[in-house]
Structure 1
Amino acid sequence: MSGSAAGRAFIGSFTSAGGPGIVVADIDPRTGALTRTGAVRSVPDPSYLAVGHGEAGPVLYAVSETVAGVVAAYDASGAVPRPLGEPVPVGGDEPTHLALAQGHLLTANYGSGSVSVLPLTAEGLPLPPSAVLHHEGSGPDPERQRSPHAHQVVPDPSGRWVLAVDLGTDSVQVCSLDERTGAMRPHGATALPPGTGPRHLAFHPSGDHAYVLGELRPTVTVCRWDAAAGVLRAIGETSLLPDSPDSPDSPDGADGQAQPSAPVVAPDGRYLWTAVRGPDTVVVLALDASGERAEPVTAVPCGGRRPRDLVLDPAGRRLYAANERSGEVTWLDVDHATGIPRPAGSLTVPAASSVAFG
């Protein structure tokens, strides 16, 4: 965890809850502090962001988490992102996440329980979907799991596969993506305990393990990942509420039930951090040398309320939490020896939802 953070941060927010759209902030290379330099509001509820590159430079992508979901692309080379063309419909409802893979932009569409594949031009502009893959199934929670709810989509470290985390069906779907045609095909699925409500996963830097975060049942499921076969296998589970492991659904914190939101793995593979809404904490877990055991170390305040996103800066020295309910992004300095983060400052961003660097 050495080096220095520098560059810019892009912060997504919910405009329907008073957010300013996409905020741009400079990062102090010494302290990691954020200073707002501008904002752009061209689509409603740009809740999740990703940064890629086109022929002319960096391109910022944003989902618009609305019933008729769209993605927007921006030229990110200037002081304020400039829209590149019109937003493109994703063919799904309420997209909550997006990722880049094999020359395509992928979106996880929570409302419709689907994953969309949008080809990218050489300039980085998204085209209409080449594929929309609909999930099937349900879970035991009558309010949250009546139907599929794809919450995250990510390429695996080998670049051969795409994994989609579905909160509604208690599963992680593994798919193949044809780089030439943009076709996506189901390959397999990993079932998690009923009622887990998986939200996001993060890979170990070795590429051999993944950690799946449950939103409805506050746990981390440790999985082995076989990139050669495209198989994800659950091998263990760790509670994120060590003080009450036998009652994971009990209220915890001022905002009610504990709901984990975002996992982050240290670049050296020693620690796993996850934000937990409700208690509004960052939980620290120590990973063993194999990556197969995750042991709770402690939980520290995230510095705000309802941390929806948690990311590590490019240098691996600080965590940034997007606190949706209290309306700020906090940065937390990570102790290299212990892995324990401590809040060090904040930037006001109403209804903050995600952070990306570029």
Structure 2
Amino acid sequence: MTRTIGRRGLIRAVLAGAALSTAAAPPDRPTPSGRPSPVGARPATTRPLLIGTYTGAGGGQGIRTGTYDPATGRISLTATVVGIEHPSYLAVHPCGATAYAVSEREEGAVTAVALGADGVHRVLGSRPTGGAGPTHLSVHPGGRWLFSANYNSGSVSVHPIRGDGSLGRRSDLVAHLSPPPGPGQEGPHAHQIITAPDGRHVLATDLGNDTVYTYRLDTAHGTLAEVSRATVRPGAGPRHLTFHPGGRFAYLACELDDTVVVCGYDPATGTLSPGAGQSTGTGPDTSYPAQLLVTADGAFAYLANRGHNSLTRYAVEEDGAALRLLGTVPVGGDFPRQIALTPDGALLLAANQRSGTVTAFHVDRQDGGLRPAGAAVDVPGAACVLPL
């Protein structure tokens, strides 16, 4: 199913969203798969790890699997899940038994992988996204829907997740046909799609037209209705959005103008209100912000900077309404495309695309400081690291 949002459709969607916002149902819950979670099956001293890569000329061979030590940051690689082209972004189901990967190619696809408790993982199958060059995907907290963002075609897709973790046929495809492209852009470029903490709204960033779209998810049918859109300054290039755990603020990494934007968020309506762009701390050097993270307690935020090859640290202040720049540290690799915090918050891991490495840092819970942990691990084509 392919839909575009026109002016009249937008008005209808906004009115429908306003009517629903006062009595929204709670998000649907994950469906038990009946399969053991690999997270709980590992020895207490190590945890499982997945690393997405660019295959072929990118140097990767598929999804690398391994373990990490939460105490030392040491990473050990064990195997490779093959047969998936350019699995450059990964996400895990809330139950922990299935992972999902994009295939960042012209005929975009998403793939489900069953995570074995013994570390042996099995591909469950793939589905086309209906778009080109998917760069991001995420699972709705209820566990029934998978969202993906198609960068090259400027669209977002929805797929149902079956009880065994496999994917059904696409339930929706929405193209970003307006507003017009930003300066230097030939069209829309959807870069990310995530669920807001309220569970009712899904937000998609579009680098090509400097817009963040808010959709209301129909949890029964897996369709998206646009209810709001927010714009940043022309040419900013919004890439990745992350929410403060309080649910009232979000932080936007803008790739093209090298800024971070603090946004207000109204969970009742899904309205995002961007503020002014602020410094990433990278100075005059050419740098492209990649991904923002916020600690679980909402005290600190981190930004990966490609080109400057650093990690920016911010203090989160005013209950999430402000970010205060604390400084940067070298990431220990070249072109950090993606970063992730371990579930316990003790480590930050970075996937460095050009150097083909994954680096780890201890996180100081008191001041948010980052200290190198263990040695860098060689992973050709490293694009995404997913600690479980």
In structure 2, the CA distance between the partners of 1:108 and 1:282, relative to structure 1 (3 Å rule), is same
Residue 112 (structure 1) aligned to one of 132, 137, 153: 153
In structure 2, the CA distance between the partners of 1:289 and 1:183, relative to structure 1 (3 Å rule), is same
The 2-side partners of 1:153 and 1:140 are apart by 19
Q: Which runs of 4+ in 1 moved over 4 A?
A: none
Please tell me whether residue 96 in structure 1 is matched to residue 138 in structure 2.
no
The 1-side partners of 2:208 and 2:45 are apart by 37
Please tell me whether residue 337 in structure 1 is matched to residue 366 in structure 2.
yes
The 2-side partners of 1:242 and 1:42 are apart by 38
For residues 56-87 of structure 1, the C-alpha deviation after alignment (integer angstroms, 9 at most, x for no partner) is x6011100000001111111024132111x31
The 1-side partners of 2:283 and 2:134 are apart by 34
After TM superposition, the score normalised by the length of structure 2 is 0.84
The 1-side partners of 2:247 and 2:161 are apart by 26
Q: Report what 1:289 is aligned to.
A: 318
Residue 51 (structure 2) aligned to one of 11, 32, 37: 11
Residue 376 (structure 2) aligned to one of 336, 342, 346: 346
Deviation, 1:33, is: 1.4
Q: Report what 1:32 is aligned to.
A: 73
Q: What amino acid is the match of 2:295? A: A
In structure 2, the CA distance between the partners of 1:337 and 1:29, relative to structure 1 (3 Å rule), is closer
Which has the larger share of helix?
A: 2
Q: Tell me the percent identity.
A: 40
The 1-side partners of 2:340 and 2:153 are apart by 26
The 2-side partners of 1:338 and 1:120 are apart by 40
How does 1:69-84 map onto structure 2 within 5 Å?
Answer: 69-77=108-116, 78-84=118-124
The 2-side partners of 1:138 and 1:351 are apart by 33
Question: Secondary structure at the residue paired with 1:290?
Answer: helix
Question: Secondary structure at the residue paired with 2:93?
Answer: strand
In structure 2, the CA distance between the partners of 1:98 and 1:186, relative to structure 1 (3 Å rule), is same
Q: What amino acid is the match of 2:104? A: E
Q: What amino acid is the match of 2:167? A: P
- Give structure 1 stretches of 5+ with no counterpart: 245-251
The 2-side partners of 1:131 and 1:39 are apart by 31
Q: What amino acid is the match of 1:297? A: L
The 2-side partners of 1:353 and 1:5 are apart by 26
Q: Report what 2:201 is aligned to.
A: 161
- Give structure 2 stretches of 5+ with no counterpart: 1-43
Q: Report what 1:146 is aligned to.
A: 186
Question: Secondary structure at the residue paired with 1:261?
Answer: strand
Does the 8 A contact of 1:5 with 1:32 survive in 2?
A: no
Calculate the aligned-residue CA RMSD, in Å: 1.5
Deviation, 1:357, is: 2.6
Please tell me whether residue 48 in structure 1 is matched to residue 89 in structure 2.
yes
The 2-side partners of 1:235 and 1:181 are apart by 34
Deviation, 1:53, is: 5.4
In structure 2, the CA distance between the partners of 1:53 and 1:123, relative to structure 1 (3 Å rule), is farther
Q: Report what 2:25 is aligned to.
A: none
Q: What amino acid is the match of 2:109? A: V
Does the 8 A contact of 1:60 with 1:81 survive in 2?
A: no
Q: Report what 2:11 is aligned to.
A: none
Residue correspondences, number: 339
The 2-side partners of 1:220 and 1:87 are apart by 35
Residue 275 (structure 1) aligned to one of 295, 300, 304: 304
Question: Secondary structure at the residue paired with 1:316?
Answer: coil
Deviation, 1:42, is: 1.1
After TM superposition, the score normalised by the length of structure 1 is 0.91
How does 1:231-246 map onto structure 2 within 5 Å?
Answer: 231-241=271-281, 243-244=283-284
Q: What amino acid is the match of 1:185? A: A
The 1-side partners of 2:332 and 2:163 are apart by 41
Does the 8 A contact of 1:39 with 1:80 survive in 2?
A: no
The 1-side partners of 2:343 and 2:150 are apart by 27
In structure 2, the CA distance between the partners of 1:162 and 1:343, relative to structure 1 (3 Å rule), is same
